[in-house]
A and B are shown apart, each in its own frame.
Chain A
C-alpha cells in the first residue's frame, strides 16, 4: 500500500513527487510512457515567464510569480541549466504600446518585480538584430530560459534517490475507490494508495472521471516550433514576445540554454490528444510571424521542428484541488502555460493540500535536496578534461561530434536511477542527436552503448515508446525478410 500515487511523470508530477519525498511517505509516480518528461514537458517553449501575462487573481498569475522566484534555488539544487535572460514584449505601433502598458499594469497587480517600459533605442541596444519596426515594449528582468527535460529528469532522479518508486509503461486503466484507499488498475499490475494525485496532463480529465463525475474537459492545444543551429545562437539575448494584436497572439523568439534559437509557437485547438504532428501551414505561419520580430532570422539554419500539446481546459485556469466527490484524490490539471514557470509553487501548494488531508506530515530527516547532473565534457577546461579522462577513459571517446558528448556522459545517464533506456532518453539527458546532424552519425553508437549497458541486442533498442523499434533484425541468415 502506497501513501501517495502520482499519475503522470511530467514536470508537475515529478516536482510533486520530489517535494513529497521530504516527508516520510511511501510514494510511487507512474506514467504510461517509456520515460519521464514525455508529454507536454517534452515539447514546449522552455521559458520561465515573469508573470504579467495571466489574468490577475487567477491561480496562473499567483503560481507563476511565486514559482518564478523559486527557480534559482531549485536549479541550483538539481544542477539544471537555467538563465535569467530577461524578456521583452515588443510593440509595433501605438495601439500595441497601449496593450503593452496594460500588460505592465497587470504585471504590477500580479506582483512581478523588475519590469520597465522601454523605448525603441533601449530595445535596440539589448537586441541589435530586432526589427526596426518596433516602437517600444516591456522589459522584464525575471524571465528566464531553462532545460525542461533536465528539470523533470533531475526531479525524478532526486525523488527516486529520496525513496520514491518510479513506474514507467504503467498506463492507468481504471481506479476503484474504497472506504480508505484507491486501487489503481494498470495494464500489468494493481497499486493501492491512500491518496492519488492526478498529474496526467492531456489525460487528466479521463483519470478524474474514473473516480468522480466529469468536472472539466481537456482541450489539447497544439503549438509548433522551429529550432535553429547554434550557429545562429547569438542572434538574440532575451526572450522576445510580440505584443498580442489583430495579427494574432504573436510568436516567441528566444535563445535556448543550449545555445540554439527556438521560434514558436502558434496555437491550434485540436481534438486529438496524440496529434503531436507538425503541419506545413502552421510552420509557415510561425515563420512569417517571427519575421516581424526580426527579418534576420536565418531559416536556412533550422535543425528541427516539433509540435507540443498544451493541456488547456474549459475552466480557463489551473485546476489544483481535492476532488469534491473523492476524498484524497487531488486533481492537478489544466496546467497549460505558464505551467512550467508555476511548477515549483504548484508542488509546494499540493504538499500543503496533502498535509491538510493527511492531518499532518512527518519530515523525512534523510531527505537530500542535492542532485548532480551528468557532467558536460564540452564545458570543462583542458586540465579538467585531462583529469576526467584519467579517472574514466570513456570520457576520452567523443560519441556525438556536433555537441561534443562523450561515452562517459552517455554511460552515466544510463546507469542512474531513473536513467535512460532509449535513444530519445539519452538525447533528453545528455543531448547526442540534438545537434545539427540530428543523430545521423551518433545514433548507432548510442544504440550500441545502450545495448551493452542494458544487456540487450542492438535490435531491441527503442527510439522512445515500446513500439518505436529502430532495427528489424540482422542481415544475412535470412532474418527480417517479408
Chain B
C-alpha cells in the first residue's frame, strides 16, 4: 500500500487529497467533489494540464491571441505543444472557440482561441 498527499487543482478551493494505492485499487480521501476524485486518479496515472499560451496574430489591434487546449493534455507533452504553437501564426478576425490547431500532436485535443479578435 502506498499513500500520497496532493493538493487538488480542479478548482480554487485547493483541497488536500489523500491517495491510497493498492495493487488493484486507488482510494481518494479529502475531496469535496467528484472533480477532485477524477483529478487525483489522473494525477497518479496520467497527469494532465490545460495549456494556455498565445499565438502570433496578424491584422489585429494586439500582436498576440490567447489560446488554450480545449482539454487537458499530458504533462510531458506541454513543451512539445508550446513548440508547435510557437511555430504558427494566424490572421484576424478570430472568434472565441475557433480551432487554431486540430488534434494537436495526434492527441484528441484542439488548441482553440480563448478570445475573439477583430480585424483592424
Residues of A within 8 A of B (CB): 474-478
Contact = CB atoms under 8 A, between A and B. Distances in A.
Please report whether the interface of chain A is mostly helix, strand, loop or mixed according to DSSP: loop
A261 B83 CA distance: 50
A477 B55 CA distance: 9
Contacts of B21: none
Interface in B79-93: 83, 85-87, 89
Contacts of A475: 54, 64, 86
Contacts of B63: 474
18 contacts: A474-B63, A475-B54, A475-B64, A475-B86, A476-B54, A476-B55, A476-B56, A476-B64, A476-B85, A476-B86, A476-B89, A477-B56, A477-B86, A477-B87, A477-B89, A478-B83, A478-B86, A478-B87
Interface of B: 54-56, 63-64, 83, 85-87, 89
A448 to B, nearest CB: 11
Contacts of A476: 54-56, 64, 85-86, 89
From A474, A475, A476, A478, residue with most partner B Cβ within 10 Å: A476
A477 B89 CA distance: 9
A397 to B, nearest CB: 15
Nearest to B63: A474
B110 to A, nearest CB: 18
Contacts of A477: 56, 86-87, 89
Nearest to B83: A478
A475 B88 CA distance: 12
Nearest to B55: A476
Closest 6 pairs between A and B when the two form their complex, measured CB to CB? A476-B56, A476-B86, A478-B86, A477-B86, A475-B54, A476-B55
B23 to A, nearest CB: 44
B54 to A, nearest CB: 6
Given A474-B63, A476-B54, A477-B86, 14 more contacts: A475-B54, A475-B64, A476-B55, A476-B56, A476-B64, A476-B85, A476-B86, A476-B89, A477-B56, A477-B87, A477-B89, A478-B83, A478-B86, A478-B87
A477 B58 CA distance: 13
A474 B57 CA distance: 13
A476 B54 CA distance: 8
Contacts of B83: 478
Contacts of B56: 476-477
Contacts of A478: 83, 86-87
A478 B88 CA distance: 11
Contacts of B87: 477-478
A388 to B, nearest CB: 26
Nearest to B56: A476
From B64, B86, B87, residue with most partner A Cβ within 10 Å: B86
B55 to A, nearest CB: 6
A47 to B, nearest CB: 46
A474 B85 CA distance: 14
Nearest to A479: B86
A475 B89 CA distance: 12
